[in-house]
Amino acid sequence: MRAQVIVLAGPSGAGKSRLAERLGLPVLRLDDFYKDGSDPSLPRITEGPNAGLVDWDHPDSWLPADAVKAIATLCETGTADVPVYDIAHDGRTGWQELTLGDERFFVAEGIFAQDIVAECRDAGLLAAAYCVTQSPTVTFWRRLTRDLREHRKPPFVLVKRGLALMRAQPQVVADAVAKGCTAVYPKHGYLAIRRLIEPRTRP
């Protein structure tokens, strides 16, 4: 195996992308493996003020098999064509090549990342898996600020979704831990991952 993947799961807004960027490793964005908004198999919210809208926080809204295939290709060859997804328009806008260069590790991060941990481990692709978490209140405000800045959805949708996600955060973290992730705050995750990769990257 040419490389291995470090999986970062955790609630939306918890700091997964920031941690991945800080590590300086190549990053596979699992959010780019969402289904297109026109896909009839997308799950729908059935209750509350957002009833009828696509439930993008449901695991049936993405394509885990495609994500694992891309991870396997990266681990085996060091390069893969991966989708580019525009959340504001609910669809893929193209493809791009992700190349690892000389790196022996890369990060795969996303809100459903915990769902591929077992498969990656069984296939010998996994180096480590973490669930990034912070205070639900901090996560709520960071997520809302980011989503408003990026115009991901109408503001009223973002606020109502954010409140629901804040209430669900303990269950999200517990699910990730049950599926093989270690729960960490961003700064602790950074230190743990540096300890993992540095001994193997020194000449």
Residue 89 to residue 141: CA distance in whole angstroms: 23
Q: What is the pLDDT of residue 161?
A: 77
Q: Exposed, middle or buried, 160 (CB in 10 Å: 0-12/13-18/19+)?
A: middle
Percent of the residues in the chain that have a pLDDT greater than 90, as a whole number: 66
Q: How many domains are contained in the chain?
A: 1
Concatenate the DSSP letters of all residues of 6-71 into one string. Answer: EEEE--TTSSHHHHHHHHTS-EEEGGGGBPPTT-TT--B--SSTTTTSB-TTSGGGB-HHHHHHHH
Encode pLDDT of 73-95 as tens digits: 999 999 999 999 998 888 999 99
Q: In this structure, what token pair is assigned to residue 159? A: 């606020």
Cβ(28)–Cβ(70) below 8 Å = yes
Q: What is the pLDDT of residue 137?
A: 81
Q: How confident is the model at residue 20 (pLDDT cuts 50, 70, 90)?
A: very high
Q: What is the pLDDT of residue 201?
A: 44
Is residue 202 predicted with pLDDT exceeding 60? no
In degrees to the nearest 10, what's the CA dihedral of 164, 44, 63, 150? Answer: -50
Concatenate the DSSP letters of all residues of 100-139 into one string. Answer: -TT-SEEEEE-TTGGGGHHHHHHTT-EEEEEEE---HHHH
Q: What is the pLDDT of residue 199?
A: 65
Which residues span the domain enclosing 139?
A: 4-201
Encode pLDDT of 128-143 as tens digits: 999 999 877 877 778 7
Q: What is the pLDDT of residue 43?
A: 96
Is residue 147 predicted with pLDDT exceeding 80? no
- CATH number where 180 lies: 3.40.50.300
Higher pLDDT, residue 8 or 91:
8
Cβ(131)–Cβ(10) below 8 Å = yes
Is residue 152 predicted with pLDDT exceeding 60? yes
Residue 166 to residue 158: CA distance in whole angstroms: 12
Nearest to 26 by CA among 65, 63, 66, 78: 78
